[in-house]
Structure 1
Amino acid sequence: MSKKIKGSYLLNAVGVALVFALLTGLFAANAFGTSTTYIQGICTTACYTIIMVTSLNLVVGFMGEFSLGHAGFVSVGAYVSAIVSGALAGKGLSDLGLFLIALLVGGLAAGIMGVLVGIPALRLRGDYLAIVTMAFAEIIRVCFCNFSITGGGKTMSGILKLSTFPRVFWIMVVCVTIMYLFVRSKYGRTVQAIREDYIAASASGINVTYYKVMTFAISAFFAGIGGGIYAHYMTAMIPTNFNFNYSAELLSEVIIGGTGSLTGSIIGAAFLSALPELMREFSTYRMLAYSVVLVLVMLFRPGGIFGRWEFSLTRVLEKLTGRGTVKAKAEKGA
């Protein structure tokens, strides 16, 4: 790894730490008055939604496949992690240790489910894959409606409140960082090569099915992590929370932010997760607002707000200081 890349990573890490320090400082100082707790809740919701949306973008944006069943993996992670935390409560574990174990088990359960679904489903493409993944999500939802351990179709309540803003923020940072490193690795580049030309990649000797199933499983794993955070934040769930509309909502956030851009997923998830709260007085028109935003983005930015572009503090600083312009002119002159 070159010094430039290390410096870029360090600079972006400092930027993330400053954002966290700013938010926690505002919350600690009660800067928003009576709305401070409410806004902190919105930020927490945005953090776990970012994990779900960026994980879906691995499949839709970087692998180039259309999935409509992401809510199924989120629900697996949510219910499994809630069951695990309930079973381990009072066993001498700290709240943070219990939380992390529950999330990892929930994520692994969702990842295993991703492998089981991906092996047969990813041999299909396009609309056929979308239909299969949608059917999978509905099957999972119906199963949770009939399992007594998940409430038997009723509300599963009494889940431990373990999702605090600082924990969720840093878990989100770790998850997004791992997904970013995967995308930038040789495995991620191979997956993107498959997206660009499926036939050429296969003819080059790439095991297309293996890489697609691997990416699908990684996406499901992080969706399960997001679901586990959701469960331990809401402390009560019902299977209908994870219906087709939820999958469509996550997909719309990917599309608005930009398929193939993790930065876009972060912005899209943060914006659309906050939108319902900002429009609480007009909750009847929430889906209408989603539709209007989607139509506007498709008209003026068909590739999403960010397209496949990633935000970088290093690039911004280079432009502000003029170094990027000088470098571009030098390369052009060469």
Structure 2
Amino acid sequence: MVRDLDHALKHVSLRAPAPRFERPRPPRGVFTSQQGFMRALGVGAVLLVAVLPFMDASRYTMSIATSALIYVMLCMGLNVVVGYAGLLDLGYIAFFAVGAYISGIFTTVLGWPMWAALIATIVACVTAGIIIGAPTLRLRSDYLAIVTLGFGEIIRITANNLKITGGPSGIHGIPTWSFGPWSFDDGFNLFGIDFPERVVFYYFVAAVVIVVGVIGAGRLAKGRLGRAWKAVRDDEDAAEAMGINTYIAKISAYIIGAVWAGMAGQLMATHLSAISPNSFQFLYSALILMAVVLGGMGSTPGVIIGALFVSLAPELLRDFAEWRYLIFGVLLVVVMLFRPSGLWPATAVLPWLRRTRPTPPAFTEATAVPASVMESVDGTPTTDAHEGDRA
């Protein structure tokens, strides 16, 4: 019997059995699905960023908002290194300094336009990521943190002692972005509305942050490389046993994070028009890492919230004068006590979705063995099992 069945199966085309349950379609509403709510929240945030200059276009507001967006860009890059790949980097400000100094040198000394200096910035950040990451990424945990901290200080001290970087005085007079005869200093007029230089640059930074920082990081996290990073973060030995080249995965995350930091450094150099070694101390690396941990490592909305909190809280507390940093520190301690996983962790589920009970799927009939197979085995025509039941 078994031999006859095996012989029959070799010459009969089998069809895959139908599923026992109808898989329900995932909800797509704003308040019925996590993805729908996040998309609506993202659209609302983009609209808020777009209308902010129409509500308050003062120089102070635009300056603070632009700096906050640059912080978001910087934290998104560190989130790739720490949140996705699990590499504790305490010298991330070094790549921020590389981007700022390269753009400053190429625009002030060599006379390049800022868009051309962007190419040099990316090349320099990739080179710096390989030089720093190649020997250090074979280390883990605390050893990696100590070595990256040392490299961050090396970059700052080197910039403080080189003549081309301006030494302790830094570089001044960094020009803004220009495209042919037009530059951001000229502004523009649209439908009778004047957009000054600070508003134009704010919109430019917002577009770069949204497209490169938020959308780019989100796509990377969901791709094959992002899954490899998360596997390395969870258990490097298990990831290597499963065939992932952990060294390539780590150095790719390090280089991508370096490029993000370099672009943010170039934006900051253009925004401030002057840089100095004191702008790249270890304190800023700690603040950026604090923003990532505070918001939620590996979470895009969490990192954005953490970056905005770290960059805007001291400004909102400016009325308290010398007490503002004390209040800022107390707020950080309180948040970490009550939200140890971050303000918006990567595994967060909306509160109203936790209370919803999944509906049981509808039962469907399973597909029986094809009648042609049974007929070829015993020589008698048979009917489908479900047809017999219905009869």
**Smaller-chain TM-score range?**
0.7 to 0.9
Pairing 1:217–2:255 present: yes
- Give the greater-gyration-radius structure (CA): 2
Residues 193-236 of structure 1 show CA distances to partners (whole Å, capped at 9, x for unaligned) of 11111111011121101100000110011001111111111111
Q: Tell me by how many angstroms 1:110 deviates.
A: 1.7
Kindly tell me: are residues 330 and 183 of structure 1, through their superposed partners in 2, closer, same or farther at Cα, counting changes over 3 Å?
same
How has the CA–CA distance of structure 1 residues 55 and 283 changed in structure 2, closer, same or farther, with 3 Å as cutoff? farther
Q: Secondary structure at the match of 1:149?
A: coil
What is the CA deviation profile of residues 277-315 of structure 1, one whole-angstrom value per residue up to 9, with x for unaligned ones?
Answer: 22224453444334223311221111110111479xxx8
Q: Paired residue for 1:329?
A: 358
Question: Are the equivalent residues in 2 in contact too, given 1:77–1:227 (CA < 8 A)?
Answer: yes
Equivalent in the alignment of 1:173: 210
- Alignment match, 1:94: none
Q: Does 1:76 align with 2:98?
A: yes
Contact conserved, 1:253 with 1:268, CA < 8 A, in 2?
yes
Q: Which of residues 139, 147, 153 is equivalent to 1:132?
A: 147
User: Is the 8 Å Cα contact of residues 259 and 307 (structure 1) preserved in structure 2?
Assistant: yes
Residues 78 and 228, structure 1, Cα contact 8 Å, conserved in 2: yes
> Mean alpha-carbon deviation: is it higher for 191-200 or for 278-287?
278-287
User: Letter of the aligned partner of 2:163 in structure 1?
Assistant: S
The correspondence for 2:130, drawn from 100, 115, 124, is 115
Please tell me the residue identity of whatever aligns with 2:150. A
Residues in 2 aligned to 1:100 and 1:326: alpha-carbon distance in whole angstroms: 51
1-side partners of 2:313 and 2:144: how far apart? 30
- Structure 1 counterpart of 2:62: 40
**Cross-structure match for 1:62:** 84
Q: CA deviation at 1:326?
A: 11
Superimposed CA distance per residue, residues 10-63 of structure 1 (whole angstroms, 9 cap, x where no aligned partner): 867754542233213224xx5xxxxx2211111101110001011111111111
**Aligned partner letter, 1:195:** R
Structure 2 residue identity aligned to 1:58: V
Q: 1:288 to 1:178 in 2, by over 3 A?
A: same
Post-superposition CA distance 1:125-184 (Å, at most 9, x none): 111111100000110011101111110121321111447101111011112211111111
Higher helix share: 1
- Structure 2 counterpart SS, 1:150: coil
Equivalent residue letter for 2:203: P
* Structure 1 contact 258–303 (Cα < 8 Å) conserved: yes
In the alignment, what sits opposite 2:5? none
Structure 1: gaps of 5 or more residues: 31-35, 92-97
Moved more, 156-165 or 120-129: 156-165
Matched, 1:194 2:223: no
Could you tell me the TM-score, scaled by structure 1's length?
A: 0.83
Residues 1:270 and 2:308 aligned together = yes
Q: Displacement of 1:111 after TM fit? A: 2.5
- The answer (yes or no) to whether the contact 1:115–1:214 under 8 Å persists in 2 is no
Structure 1 residue 272: Cα displacement: 1.5
Consecutive unaligned residues in structure 2, runs of 5 or more: 1-25, 29-34, 178-197, 364-391
| Paired residue type of 1:84 | F
In the alignment, is the contact (CA less than 8 A) between 2:336 and 2:342 conserved in 1? yes
Q: CA distance change for structure 1 residues 275 and 104 in 2, over 3 Å: closer, same or farther?
A: farther
Distance 2:61 2:53 in 1: 11
Tell which deviates more after alignment, 222-231 or 281-290: 281-290
Quote the residue 1:261 is aligned against. 299
Please report the RMSD computed on the Cα atoms of aligned residues, expressed in angstroms: 2.9
Q: Does the residue aligned with 1:249 lie in a helix, a strand or coil?
A: helix
Calculate percent identity across the aligned residue pairs. Answer: 36
Secondary structure, counterpart of 1:124 in structure 2: coil
- What is the letter of the counterpart of residue 250 of structure 2? K
Counterpart of 2:81, as a letter, is V
Q: Is the 8 A contact 1:182 1:188 kept in 2?
A: yes
The amino acid across from 1:146 in the alignment is N
